Amino acid sequence: MTLSNFIPNVWSARLLENLNNAHVFAGLCNRDYEGDITGIGDTVKINSIGHVTIGTYTKNTNMSAVETMTDAQTTLTIDVARYFNFQIDDVDSAQTKPKVMDAAMRDAAWGLAEAIDDLLAATHASAAAANKQGSTGAPVVGGSLTAGAAMYDLLVNMAVDLDETNTPRQGRWVVVPPWAYGIMLKDARFINATDGGNQMRQNGLIGKAAGFDVYMSNNVVAGGTAGTDYHAVMAGYPGTISYAEQITSVEAYRPELRFADAVKGLLVCGYKVVRPGSLATLYVKSNAI
């Protein structure tokens, strides 16, 4: 492959496609603001209005003075930057080199997605205190691989936490680690609620339970020590977390001291839990592992 055959906008589009396909957590966020960013350090102002007061009307009686709407503003800062930079040596044959380049680009996209999902999974700590079950030092037990009922019940508790904060039910999601999915497969309530029979879906969607679309990811935060090991299972709805990303540059170049084609790319992003009351976190362990 020569530099004259490299078309940056084609490779950029391919990278974005692979990145989106690999995401789990990022695919569950509100991404309405991506068109407003261009580079690291950008900020997006997210405006919201307060509730309208509802009064009781009495015939022949004046209403209260007209209400002035209040507003609130949240800032989403683009403060995360991740890059890749790799080369393919000219010694590789003309037949092999394009295939290697394509595979490397796919792997770069997967790596970026993994890095971003790790960051978003760490927002579990931002859940409102009332929406947390267990803690990092005292996780609750989610059952074993031979008795699956407990894990489903814990998801029901998370749903109740979100109900009590008026979180919309439409589009609710929860992300569980693989062992929790294995436990839920032992529960008829999960099996019966899963469309299409338990078939694995794109981007980690594995079924429905307790009003949630259930996703599985190895990026669910794990921690603790022996006896207090935990996973931070997160639940929310599409408006809970705002996330914006932009691939600002993908460039091909010839390294000065090498006979090789190289490609480097830069992704910038930012994220924020804009509705902590609509985020629920379950610190859970299995007594089977």
Q: What is the pLDDT of residues 37-67, one digit of tens each?
A: 778 888 888 877 777 888 888 998 998 888 8
More confident residue, 141 or 270: 270
Judgement on whether residues 108 and 251 belong to the same structural domain of the protein? yes
Model confidence pLDDT, tens digit, residues 4-44:
566 666 667 667 666 666 678 999 999 988 777 778 888 88
- Give the pLDDT score at 200: 43
Judgement on whether residues 99 and 141 belong to the same structural domain of the protein? no
Judgement on whether residues 7 and 101 belong to the same structural domain of the protein? yes
**16 HSE (CA, 13 A, CB side):** 14
Count of domains observed in the chain: 2
Are 121 and 175 a contacting pair, CB within 8 Å?
yes
> What is the CATH classification number for the domain harbouring 182?
3.30.2320.40
Judgement on whether residues 206 and 133 belong to the same structural domain of the protein? yes
Judgement on whether residues 117 and 248 belong to the same structural domain of the protein? yes
Q: What is the DSSP string of 133-177?
A: ES-SSSPEE--BTTB-HHHHHHHHHHHHHHHTTT--STT-EEEE-
Judgement on whether residues 73 and 209 belong to the same structural domain of the protein? no
Alpha-carbon distance values, 8 to 89, 249, 274 (Å) = 19, 9, 35
Judgement on whether residues 281 and 154 belong to the same structural domain of the protein? yes
The stretch 108-126 carries a mean pLDDT of: 93
Judgement on whether residues 52 and 78 belong to the same structural domain of the protein? yes
Model confidence pLDDT, tens digit, residues 154-213:
999 999 999 999 999 999 999 999 888 888 887 777 766 655 444 444 455 778 888 999
- Give the pLDDT score at 243: 94
Model confidence pLDDT, tens digit, residues 212-233:
999 999 899 999 887 788 999 9
Judgement on whether residues 161 and 281 belong to the same structural domain of the protein? yes
Domain of residue 68: give its range.
Answer: 3-122+244-271
Judgement on whether residues 11 and 34 belong to the same structural domain of the protein? yes
β-sheet bridge partners, residue 77: 43
> What is the CATH classification number for the domain harbouring 71?
3.30.2400
Judgement on whether residues 159 and 223 belong to the same structural domain of the protein? yes
Q: What is the pTM of this model?
A: 0.81
Model confidence pLDDT, tens digit, residues 69-83:
776 778 889 999 999
Judgement on whether residues 34 and 67 belong to the same structural domain of the protein? yes
Instruction: Round the average pLDDT of the chain to a whole number and report it.
Output: 84
